[in-house]
Structure formats: C-alpha cells, structure tokens
Amino acid sequence: MDISRNTVDKISKSVVNFHNKLLQFRKCQILRDHAVITEDLWVRNGKIVDPEKVFFDEKITADVQIDCKGALVAPGFIDLQINGGFGIDFSYNNHDVEAGVQKVAKGLLAHGVTAFCPTLVTSPPYVYLKQVLPLLKIRPGGPEGAAILGAHLEGPFINVNKKGAHPAQYIQDMDRGLDSLQDVYGSIENVRIVTLAPELNNAVDIIEELTKRGITVSLGHSLADLSEGERGIQHGATLITHLFNAMPAFHHRDPGLVGLLGSDLINDGHSVFYGIISDGIHTHPAALRIAHSTHPDGLVLVTDAISALGLEEGTHQLGQLAIEVKGGRALVAGTETLCGSIANMNQCIQFFMKAVSCSVVTALEAATLHPAQAVGIHDRKGTLSFGADADFVFLGEDLKVWSTWIAGECVYQDTESPHPTLRLI
C-alpha cells in the first residue's frame, strides 16, 4: 500500500495504529556511530531496537515493514538556543505563553527539530517568576510538537558591557550568590541551561551549585579572559554561548572565551562545547572553519532564532526590545546591533556544511549528537543507537527535511519533497 506525500495524516494514523508493533524501516542510509551505513532501522514502543535480539532472543519478524527507498535517516535535530519563532517570543508576554510555546514546538517539526530549549533573554524578574518559567515545562515530543528539554536562561547574570541585544536595566549581579538567582528565577525545576558571565562575583560557586542540580552552565555575554573562562570550566561549566558573539574578539596574548577551544583543559578531560550560529550573518565562514578546525567535537549548531523565524521582514519583538528584520538580518530597531537570527536549523546545517566543506556526518552531528552531549542526554537523544528514542528525520541529498519522526511516529512530512514516498510492504 502506497502512502501519498500529500496526505500526511495517512502516515501518521497508520503509524499510530502500529504503536506497540515492531517496525522495520528497510533500505535506509542511517547515521550511526559517526558514519552513514546501509542498514535497516528497527523501532518499537518509541525506541530504537537491536534486531539481533529480535531475531535470536525473541525469534520474531517485523509487524510492519516500511520501504525507505534509500533515504538518509539521521537523528532528530536539537536546538539548544531559540528565542521563539512564527510570531512568538518566549520572553515577551503579550500572548498566551503556553499556546505560544506550543505553536513554536509545532512549527519546528518542519525543520527537522525534535527537541529544543526555549530561550529567555534578560528580562525583569516577574517574567521568570510568574509568566514564563512555570509554563515552560519539560515534556516529550509528539504530533503536537518537538520535545521541550527545559528552558535556556540567557541572562540576566551577564556583563553589561557585552549585553548585545539584552536590555541593560534588567541585567543583574550575583553578589548574593545563589540567592541572587533564586530571587530572579524562583524555581529552576524546568531549567536546562543557564548562560552567565564567569567573571562576575560568586560565579564559581554558582556554577558548581547549578551543575550539582543537573543544569548545564554556559559561559557568554562576557568580558572574561582565558583564565576566568578556564576557571568556570574547571568548576563545571561545559558550554559557551554563541561563540564569537557578545565576547571580546580573539587576541593572541589573551584569547578570552574563544581560547577555550584550544585550552589544555580539553586534553585534561574537561568537556568544552560551544554554540555557534551558522546563518551566514552572525559568523563568517572563515570563523566557522577556524572553530571547527580547532575543536570539531565541541561544535554545536544553534539557531538563536527570534520571533521573526518563519515570518516576513518587518518589526518584531525580542524580550523587551523592538526588532527590525531587513535584508535577512535581525537588528535592534534603530541600531546595527544583531539580536538573534531568522534562520531555521535545517538552513544552519546546510550553510555550515558548505562553509566548512565538511562531510554530511560532521554537519549532522553538530545539530544532533553534540547538542545532546552538551546537556547530557546523548544516551537517548541525538543518536540512533540501540535503546535511544526513535526521533529521526528523513533527508534529501541537499539535507532538505523530507519527514520528521518522534518516538517512531511521523509528525511532519513535506508535501513537495522530490523523494519517493514511503511504502508499507
């Protein structure tokens, strides 16, 4: 029975009916273990299944076979820094927050994103305490939208001299230690990442405490020198927020946070990941090549997308600031200050692969495995290893998203894809 590309619901309903069944995706090109291999993909109960155990232990065959016609199957994309999209800004509360998050989660499926961290820029305390954080609950993905991994709180504990598009009047210090954070954030139950400047008072103690609580600490919007950045890494920070942006330019005598990519700490076993915006605006192709050549295993593609993602050029909102989008650039209205991108993750992957002249595997792992590793979920996300969540995308030769799957269920299909349709055998 053929399943038409023009009837997404037919695929979705078919797979829903097979929820507890053993699915065999045949004739796939699978990204697994840092290589693209020709192998079938087996799924059951929302997880990737080891077929050897099926054959030799259970002695059964698949309930459903799906002919993939040689399509490339990669883990679902993960975006650790996205401020909104499709007219919704997570930090600006002129809308129903829960409905707004849902709209973005749904819209991201078309771009291959199966999990993301809603990101809040520096805001007044009431935004965190009452209007946003209580509603940004961690939840699994599905037909209603991509999974929410937890909030990314980008500020307000940053350096005012590297504020970028963050409103200066709401930037805070950390003079009271963890109490400073609790006064602003309240509960951090639904928080996955906190971006802070490591040169601020009490930063080391706060990094240690957040890390103990399972929160990834990212260094950014900072004037830190290399030693201050290294001290943050030594005490638990593992991520750098949008490398090159909102930090001092590289200097050969003190390379600052950028220097962490070549720090001896990496050789000593410390993890250093760095988000980078490969939208063709925020980071020059030469800078992308330098970062990738220096520390390829830590590179994490992020969109840093704002509410204008998916919309026409014009005036939009980022937190408390008005944003003007023109010529493919998002600027604080009336200035030349960049304030996030309007690129989707699929576009960032495509631009990165072309700019760096890297392999498909390298480009895709920067949006799948690496972000999962950066926040410690690589045992179940960002991979197609056995036992992992069955979140994956079917991609065309140009890495265009053909379809998006969460927990083994088709949640999006491109109706204009040039690729052959899936076929139930």
Residues marked as binding?
154, 165, 221, 242, 245-246, 253, 282, 338-340
- Taking the C-alpha atoms of residue 140 and residue 147, their distance in angstroms, rounded to an integer, is 5
Tell me which residues are annotated as active site: 304
**Residue 309 and residue 303: Cα distance in Å, rounded?**
10
For 48, 109, 409, the CA distances from 390, given in Å and listed in that order, are 5, 15, 8
List own/partner pairs for 167-173 with CB under 8 A and 24 or more apart.
167/122, 167/123, 167/319, 167/320, 167/321, 170/122, 170/123, 170/124, 170/320, 171/122, 173/200, 173/201
Tokens of 414: 């491109």
The residue with tokens 């749904």 is 106
3-state DSSP helix/strand/coil percent for the chain, to nearest 5?
A: 30, 25, 45
The amino acid that residue 310 corresponds to is G
**Angle formed by the axes of helices 226-234 and 203-212, nearest 10°:** 30
Q: What sign results for the dihedral spanned by CA atoms 264, 267, 272, 277?
A: positive
Separation between Cα atoms, residue 256 and residue 224, nearest integer Å = 6
Spatial separation of the C-alpha atoms in residues 173 and 166, rounded to whole Å: 14
As annotated, the binding site for substrate includes: 165, 245-246, 253, 282, 338-340
Specify the pairing of strand 151-154 against strand 401-406: unpaired
Binding-site residues for Zn(2+), please? 154, 221, 242
Buried b (16+ CB within 10 A) or exposed e, 52-81: eebeeeeeeebebbbbbeebbbbbbbbbbb
Q: In one letter, which amino acid is 368?
A: T
Q: Residue 145: exposed, middle, or buried by beta-carbon count in 10 A (0-12, 13-18, 19+)?
A: buried
Phi, psi of 61 (to 5 degrees): -115, 175
At 219 the three-state DSSP class reads: strand
